[in-house]
Structure 1
Amino acid sequence: MEDLTQEEWSEQLANDNNAVVLDVRTDDEVADGIIPNAIHIDIYKGQDFINELEKLDKSKNYYVYCRSGNRSGQACRIMDELGFENAFNLEGGIIEWHGDIVDVD
């Protein structure tokens, strides 16, 4: 797990062809918008969250965010424990994000 600043996260993500963006916020938070192409798995789902993570490709590079960076940090630590090779936490979360945000379909 690695904490990245907003700038580091954006730059690294833009140059990573093995990247997956993961949003770990609640459904209500996601309704306010999501970073383009992100997949959503709510960290508050407990065991269901872990079950969903287990379905993901552990060789991908995961760029993880939440509202402020706390829950995504927890998610990255869980992912490390589950054997994910690369999980990057967005410091400051989506509230400090200056990139694109799209509505959820």
Structure 2
Amino acid sequence: MKILLATIILAGILSCQSSKPEFRSVSVDKFQHLIADTSVIRLDVRTAKEFAEGHIPNAINIDVLQPDFLQKALSSLPRKHTIAVNCRSGKRSKKAAEMLAKKGYKVVELDTGFNGWTAEGKEQTKE
């Protein structure tokens, strides 16, 4: 009887779990710490113009606002690596992070975006 009750409770708890793919939103300092690992792929999802004006060093650029974003991301981002996503303020990167998480990627997102990164005086590069 106890086993049956425990099974019912566990099933109830699991059924309440969100099936929404998850990603982590992190602070600038945590993001910087995470991307220090060279196996983490840095993905900037802003426009090409925004990216050229300044970006986190060693980031690649795939514009999340383009209709082929997911196709480009799936063809160029290996699933075995963590993807560290940023945009300008954090809105577009959350959209991109959710899309990638739905496809099975482990994703970390810079909560305050590139604006937060530069406001804290972190390194950037320009093209």
Taking structure 2 as the reference length, the TM-score comes to 0.76
Partner of 2:48: 27
For residue 92 of structure 1, what is the aligned residue in structure 2? 112
The higher-RCO structure (CA 8 Å, 6+ apart) is 1
The number of aligned residues is: 101
Partner residue, 1:75: 96
1:31 Cα offset (Å) = 2.1
Q: Secondary structure at the match of 1:44?
A: coil
Alpha-carbon shift at residue 26 of structure 1 (Å): 0.7
Structure with higher Rg: it is: 2
Deviation of 1:87 after TM superposition, in Å, equals 0.6
Query: Deviations for 1:48-105, whole angstroms, at most 9, x for unmatched residues?
Result: 1011111110111111000001100110000011111x1111011011113111112x
Give unmatched runs, 5+ long, in structure 2.
1-22
Asked if the contact 2:42–2:59 (Cα under 8 Å) also holds between the matched residues in 1, the reply is yes
Matched, 1:101 2:124: yes
Give the CA deviation at 1:13. 1.7
Q: Which runs of 5 or more residues in structure 1 are unaligned?
A: none
Query: 1:11, CA displacement in angstroms?
Result: 1.2
| Match in the other structure for 1:4 | 26
Of 42, 53, 58, 1:37 maps to 58
User: Any runs of at least 4 consecutive aligned residues in structure 1 with deviations exceeding 6 A, and if so which?
Assistant: none
AA aligned opposite 1:58:
R
> 3-state DSSP class of the match of 1:88?
strand
State the TM-score, normalizing by the size of structure 1. Answer: 0.91
1:16-49 residue CA offsets vs partner (Å, 9 max, x unmatched): 2321100000112112111111000000112x10
Query: C-alpha distance in 1, partners of 2:51/2:35?
Result: 20
Structure (1 or 2) with the greater strand fraction: 1
